[in-house]
Chains A and B, each alone.
Chain A
């Protein structure tokens, strides 16, 4: 991926393209630059006169860099497509990509820099639930339309503060929904519901279930939600073991051994990125896949994972994700895949099909186009009220609606069987056949009753 990429359709900036004199001059305290003063006024609308500026904040360095870069790749394709379709309000879309470095403080500073100094009209992001929750208060104060494309935690789209408590104010509060935040990917609640339903309805002879997941909030939440949904669905599972290797662990063999000792039929995992490959390689070496009926993973279904695992990953087990290229047979998906392929055909560093965050990041730019044009302006409040309850017909995952109350999209989770029959542009397996699941609040409330977990949809 290039640092700076200017296309006929528009200009992209990766970490504020070129030497951003404007920001540097203010940083050096060289007088009251006009841009800073406009930042003081803050608040409403923004952008240059002739562009709509969307700030994108992802994790673009460190161990999970591959995730953020995949989102960036699809956001670029989305912006290109929107610009080809006339831009937004007849203005070109300009995107700035910034790295949050896995740090909530850095994410907050990025938000402020984008909105207060660079007059961003809208934001998309991020690549970590912890960073999202830790920086949401800043995003809330900025009041800018803000769409999550890659985030699992259900808390951030839960607005029922009375029932679940305020996450930002109470020790046992789980509701962290804020007015200007929307989410386009299926969250952990939807994801684990799909997996619990699949396990209950599609797998025979599963009784004993064990868990392996990364040792932080995401891993723990996935397991809690999976159990709650499975119980709610009437599955009579026995939960025989649960292990949490540390995030980015090089050696998971003790935890894999411990899970194997419990003799499970199904192993539920919530690894992603590098942890997925570490787990599959070490589990294969230890014979886990021969011993159990099936192994699940929440968001491991990424082309990059399958390419690096190649023959190591056993065929027939079931992985999930928020999108899979062959799971959706519609025109918008074909168009998205064609654009993606063409954009990156000469780039060896990008696999020719999008990752699991692809559809949500691609659509985020389209959603802003629709909302801003319906609002007739980029005014923050007007755009936000357009987005509440808005349906976007041409999402690669089919028609997608942003719930008016929770601000969560009714986005599907995809579950597929690891297989060689899928047509993928790399050496390694894909997924076939695939099933998708969506979830509404009423069903979620019903199934989660008594668990204390917020539905987040």
Chain B
């Protein structure tokens, strides 16, 4: 950043405000314009956007590839499902909270689920961050698959009975913990009556998810822009040098792991009412692959890259499903798209769009990289203005 900083910031700000306003308006109006099935897809995209952004705090910002982030989604999701099942039918909750008992159960599930994810982050994260690169990835994968085995085979349920906790730790084995939508039913909040999850319109749940997700995205944005976020980037760029500067690499990575896990857990809780319960596939490694793929598609070196990846991923998947010939081989089609993005796009879809814009605008050229948190190894600072010619 040198010449024209003011111009660039002003330019970025104006465009960003317009874009954000259009995006926000589209998100606010969407459920009224499309049907319930598409609203459900939108909720899924919003949740994956937060999940991938949380994952990217560790990957894009700290340089640690976790292949086990499903553990947070599942850990929090199962706790949430237990809370709904436990409190949803409890007369005590009903008498205490009356018309808001469904909402109360939801909030308790939210807090309990996120706490569970934080607990996982603190314990498993501490062990994982002792190693880097492929070893870190394998450790996260191993822990998440251990959690998958625990829920799939109901090992925790057996343990619970053994220690006298009854069915408290039951996971339902391969059937999981499906929940009745009755438990997510009518809310009467100061006269405002709505159904928490109504699969025939989703209005209430959509806006609840939107509100919580917007808050989560803002929090994550503040985190990556904070000194803590800068320290994460320093670790990504050069761990030894960061340590020489006084940054405790292990500690910072651990904290990033916990924060990333907490937000992933939040998503896990919000998935449960949408999906009608917690099933073992939430914990499977293939669920951990979603944020990885979405982040690579969208671009790990831009804050909104993973969110863009979630949007592109889900809609491309939806588009493929409309074409029978492609649908039968959807994994292959997706693999080819991913291959194209990795080979030809510098920084996923977001990077690709910025380069495209840079071709046509002078200012865009400089902005393309300035707005990204691109690592030094990827883009040389001096090459910023030369990029359009390079392309």
Q: Which A positions have Cβ atoms within 8 angstroms of B?
A: 3-4, 14-20, 23-24, 26-29, 31-33, 35-40, 42-43, 61, 99, 103-105, 108-109, 112-113, 116-117, 129-130, 133-138, 140-142, 153, 166-172, 215-217, 220
Q: Name the A residues within 8 Å of B200 (CB-CB).
A: 40, 42-43, 116, 141
B322 within 8 A of A: yes
Contact check, B40 vs A109: say whether CB atoms are below 8 A apart: yes
Distance in angstroms from A270 CB to nearest chain B CB is 13
12 A–B contacts, CB within 8 A, in A order = A14-B324, A17-B324, A27-B319, A27-B322, A39-B37, A130-B176, A134-B277, A135-B276, A140-B180, A169-B88, A169-B183, A217-B174
B3-41: which have CB < 8 Å to A?
26, 30, 32-38, 40-41
Contact check, B325 vs A167: say whether CB atoms are below 8 A apart: no
Pick from A16, A39, A169: contact of B321, CB under 8 Å: A16
Closest 8 CB pairs of A and B: A36-B35, A39-B35, A171-B167, A168-B180, A216-B174, A42-B200, A137-B276, A3-B324
Q: Name the A residues within 8 Å of B170 (CB-CB).
A: 171-172
Distance in angstroms from B374 CB to nearest chain A CB is 30
Distance in angstroms from B369 CB to nearest chain A CB is 31
B94 within 8 A of A: no
B188 within 8 A of A: no
Q: Give the CA-CA distance A257 to B32 in the complex, in Å.
A: 61
Contact check, A137 vs B180: say whether CB atoms are below 8 A apart: yes
B279 within 8 A of A: yes
B158 within 8 A of A: no
Best-surrounded residue of A18, A37, A43, A112 (most CB of chain B within 10 A): A112
Distance in angstroms from A401 CB to nearest chain B CB is 28
Q: Give the CA-CA distance A136 to B173 in the complex, in Å.
A: 17
Contact check, A140 vs B181: say whether CB atoms are below 8 A apart: yes
B250 within 8 A of A: no
Distance in angstroms from A87 CB to nearest chain B CB is 24
Q: Please give 19 more A-B residue pairs, beta carbons under 8 A apart, in addition to A27-B318, A28-B315, A117-B37.
A: A29-B26, A33-B34, A36-B33, A39-B37, A42-B201, A61-B328, A99-B327, A104-B281, A108-B275, A109-B40, A112-B36, A137-B178, A137-B276, A138-B276, A141-B198, A141-B200, A168-B179, A168-B183, A169-B89
CB-CB under 8 A for A15 and B178, given A108-B275, A112-B40: no
Contact check, A24 vs B35: say whether CB atoms are below 8 A apart: no
Contact check, A169 vs B85: say whether CB atoms are below 8 A apart: yes
B100 within 8 A of A: no
Q: Give the CA-CA distance A229 to B33 in the complex, in Å.
A: 54
Q: Give the CA-CA distance A140 to B182 in the complex, in Å.
A: 10
Distance in angstroms from A349 CB to nearest chain B CB is 13
Q: Name the B residues within 8 Å of A170 (CB-CB).
A: 85, 89
Contact check, A167 vs B321: say whether CB atoms are below 8 A apart: no
Q: Give the CA-CA distance A33 to B281 in the complex, in Å.
A: 33
Chain B 169-191 against A: per-residue CB contact (8 Å), 1 yes, 0 no? 01001111011111100000000
Distance in angstroms from B105 CB to nearest chain A CB is 12
Contact check, A104 vs B275: say whether CB atoms are below 8 A apart: yes
Distance in angstroms from B328 CB to nearest chain A CB is 7
Pick from A135, A137, A172: contact of B179, CB under 8 Å: A137
Q: Which B positions have Cβ atoms within 8 angstroms of A?
A: 26, 30, 32-38, 40-41, 85, 88-89, 152-153, 166-168, 170, 173-176, 178-183, 198-201, 275-277, 279, 281, 315, 318-319, 321-325, 327-328
Contact check, A116 vs B35: say whether CB atoms are below 8 A apart: yes
Q: Name the A residues within 8 Å of B199 (CB-CB).
A: 112, 138, 141-142
Pick from A24, A129, A153: contact of B319, CB under 8 Å: A24
Q: Name the B residues within 8 Å of A29 (CB-CB).
A: 26, 30, 33-34, 38
Q: Name the B residues within 8 Å of A40 (CB-CB).
A: 35-36, 200-201
Q: Name the A residues within 8 Å of B174 (CB-CB).
A: 130, 216-217
Distance in angstroms from A59 CB to nearest chain B CB is 13
Contact check, A42 vs B328: say whether CB atoms are below 8 A apart: no
Q: Name the B residues within 8 Å of A14 (CB-CB).
A: 324
Q: Give the CA-CA distance A38 to B37 in the complex, in Å.
A: 11
Distance in angstroms from B354 CB to nearest chain A CB is 23
Distance in angstroms from B205 CB to nearest chain A CB is 13
Q: Give the CA-CA distance A24 to B40 in the complex, in Å.
A: 15
Residue of B nearest to A168 (CB): B180
Pick from B35, B85, B275: contact of A171, CB under 8 Å: B85
Distance in angstroms from A348 CB to nearest chain B CB is 18
Distance in angstroms from B186 CB to nearest chain A CB is 13
Residue of B nearest to A36 (CB): B35
Contact check, B179 vs A169: say whether CB atoms are below 8 A apart: yes
CB-CB under 8 A for A134 and B176, given A14-B324, A40-B200: yes
Distance in angstroms from B185 CB to nearest chain A CB is 10
Q: Give the CA-CA distance A27 to B89 in the complex, in Å.
A: 37
Q: Give the CA-CA distance A28 to B167 in the complex, in Å.
A: 45
Q: Give the CA-CA distance A113 to B44 in the complex, in Å.
A: 15
Q: Name the A residues within 8 Å of B153 (CB-CB).
A: 215
Contact check, B276 vs A134: say whether CB atoms are below 8 A apart: yes
Q: Name the B residues within 8 Å of A134 (CB-CB).
A: 175-176, 178, 276-277, 279
Contact check, A36 vs B180: say whether CB atoms are below 8 A apart: no
Contact check, A3 vs B175: say whether CB atoms are below 8 A apart: no
CB-CB under 8 A for A166 and B36, given A14-B324, A137-B276, A217-B174: no
Best-surrounded residue of B26, B199, B325 (most CB of chain A within 10 A): B199
Contact check, A168 vs B178: say whether CB atoms are below 8 A apart: yes
Q: Name the A residues within 8 Å of B32 (CB-CB).
A: 32
Q: Give the CA-CA distance A4 to B166 in the complex, in Å.
A: 52
Best-surrounded residue of B38, B85, B179 (most CB of chain A within 10 A): B38
Distance in angstroms from B301 CB to nearest chain A CB is 28
Q: Name the B residues within 8 Å of A153 (CB-CB).
A: 175
Contact check, B322 vs A166: say whether CB atoms are below 8 A apart: no
Q: Give the CA-CA distance A166 to B182 in the complex, in Å.
A: 12
Distance in angstroms from B71 CB to nearest chain A CB is 18
Distance in angstroms from A107 CB to nearest chain B CB is 10
Distance in angstroms from B355 CB to nearest chain A CB is 24
Q: Name the B residues within 8 Å of A140 (CB-CB).
A: 180-181
Q: Name the B residues within 8 Å of A18 (CB-CB).
A: 324
Contact check, B175 vs A133: say whether CB atoms are below 8 A apart: yes
Contact check, B88 vs A105: say whether CB atoms are below 8 A apart: no
Contact check, A15 vs B327: say whether CB atoms are below 8 A apart: yes
CB-CB under 8 A for A136 and B178, given A15-B328, A24-B319: yes
Q: Give the CA-CA distance A99 to B323 in the complex, in Å.
A: 13
Contact check, B323 vs A19: say whether CB atoms are below 8 A apart: yes
Distance in angstroms from B253 CB to nearest chain A CB is 32
Contact check, A27 vs B175: say whether CB atoms are below 8 A apart: no
Residue of A nearest to B199 (CB): A141
Q: Name the A residues within 8 Å of B182 (CB-CB).
A: 168-169
Best-surrounded residue of B170, B198, B318 (most CB of chain A within 10 A): B318
